Amino acid sequence: MSSSNFKGREHRAACYKARDEYFECLDKSGEKLAEECRGLLGNFESTCGEKWTEHFIRRRDYLKFKEKMEKEGADVFDEAKFGSKKNN
């Protein structure tokens, strides 16, 4: 379904249900795209459309990142990757 066809309460409800089922599967499988989640991903993509699927996945990733930063502190980073910010 294209985003232009994403209309009405029934379509939204079906999309949200497919999204929630897929994300629940990911949570249970440890964030890996487990074999049992592949069918749910296909259903999510076909029910919600490409743009909405991308939006929901990006939003989920952002919220997980934000939660991690709030738990660990915003100044936590990989020094090897980003290098030291100290002046020499």
Residue 52 belongs to some domain of the structure: yes
Instruction: Give the count of domains, the chain.
Output: 1
pLDDT, tens digit (0-9, with 9 covering 90-100), for 10-54: 999 999 999 999 999 988 887 666 677 888 999 999 999 999 999
Query: In the numeric block, which tokens belong to residue 51?
Result: 């743009």
40 contacts 20 by C-beta, under 8 angstroms: no
Evaluate whether residue 86 is within a structural domain. no
**Contact, 19 vs 42, CB < 8 A?**
no
Confidence band (pLDDT; 50, 70, 90) for 70? Answer: confident
> Residue 49 falls within a domain, yes or no?
yes
User: How many CA within 13 A on the CB side of residue 82?
Assistant: 8
Number of other residues whose CB lies within 10 A of the CB of residue 22: 26
State which residues form the domain around 55: 3-79
Q: Tell me whether residue 84 is in a domain.
A: no
Q: Can you tell me the distance from the alpha carbon of 44 to that of 47, in angstroms, rounded to the nearest whole number?
A: 5
Whether residue 88 is contained in a domain is answered as no
Is the pTM higher than 0.85? The answer reads no
